[in-house]
Amino acid sequence: MTSHTLRFEGARLHVETDGDPSLPALLLWPPGSSTVRVWDHLIPQLTDLFHTVRIDVRGYGQSSVDDLSESQFTFEQYSNDAEFVLDSLGINTLHTWSQSWGTRAAIVFCARNQDIVKSAALYAAILELPDVAAQRQGTKDAADARSSSGIEATPPPTGFNEHLNPEAAQVTASALRKIQLIELIDKISMPVLIGTGSYDPNLVSSRAIASRLDNAQLVEFEHVGHNAILEHPSLALSTFLAFHERLHC
């Protein structure tokens, strides 16, 4: 793993890259209130095929901001940050994989960068504002279903929700209320994988998005709630890798 700290537009962005830089680049967008650590348990398998790029979204993890002004915390700004990081690393084509809250950021990024994003895995995709209470209940019910089915729980990666500035992290998450994703979704033309849990209330919106996009595939994860990469990481990963295998057939 190589760690980078990049200064950009009022923030110090913490970035981690893994794998051979000659491999296709994969930009990873985390779920809400999560740091680069949330992907730690998947990186060893991903780096066989990809050069992975992880960014602590400004305000999350080890990324810091000069102040807490509203303009710092928008999905457009997070997209600008990612574009700057990729340019700084010399990456001009890539794939992306996102989870939950991070899928909102990924939709904005993909809509703005269709020329360089070759595919997008958008897990728990939704265009509307989330029903957080229903998401939490779905995640609990899914955990019970996995336990009843004999699927062992996977401990979350250490440090996945630890932030240098918890106050900034709360403001970071507020970006979801500042944009209408429905105005952007039709701009996404690259191959898309939508992976959403069968217990996730986002599934209704995920189905609608998959029907709306010409080049999208929907996979419904059995016994999974709102956060597949943490709840059932082996299923989340195998589905992602199968999607890429089909892309290259």
Of residues 203, 245, 209, the one with CA closest to residue 221: 203
Query: For the chain, what is the mean pLDDT?
Result: 96
Total number of domains in the chain = 1
pLDDT of res. 218: 98
pLDDT of res. 231: 97
At residue 215 the predicted structure's pLDDT band, cuts being 50, 70 and 90, is very high
Cα 207 from Cα 56, distance rounded (Å): 29
Predicted confidence (pLDDT) per residue in 55-111, tens digit: 999 999 999 999 999 889 999 999 999 999 999 999 999 999 999 999 999 999 999
Question: What amino acid occupies position 87?
Answer: D
Q: Which two tokens stand for residue 69?
A: 């002004």
Cα 127 from Cα 129, distance rounded (Å): 7
Q: What is the DSSP string of 126-138?
A: -SSPP-HHHHHHH
What does pTM read for this prediction? 0.96
pLDDT of res. 48: 96
pLDDT of res. 249: 65
200-216 burial code (b ≥16 CB/10 A, e <16): bbbbebbebbbeebeeb
Predicted confidence (pLDDT) per residue in 170-214, tens digit: 999 888 777 889 889 999 999 999 999 999 999 999 999 999 999
Helix (H, G, I), strand (E, B) or coil at 111: helix
User: What range does the domain containing 96 cover?
Assistant: 2-247
Among 41-55, 138-152, 168-182, 188-202, the minimum mean pLDDT is found in: 168-182
What are the phi and psi torsion angles at 214 (to 5°)?
-70, -30
Which CATH number fits the domain that encloses residue 211? 3.40.50.1820
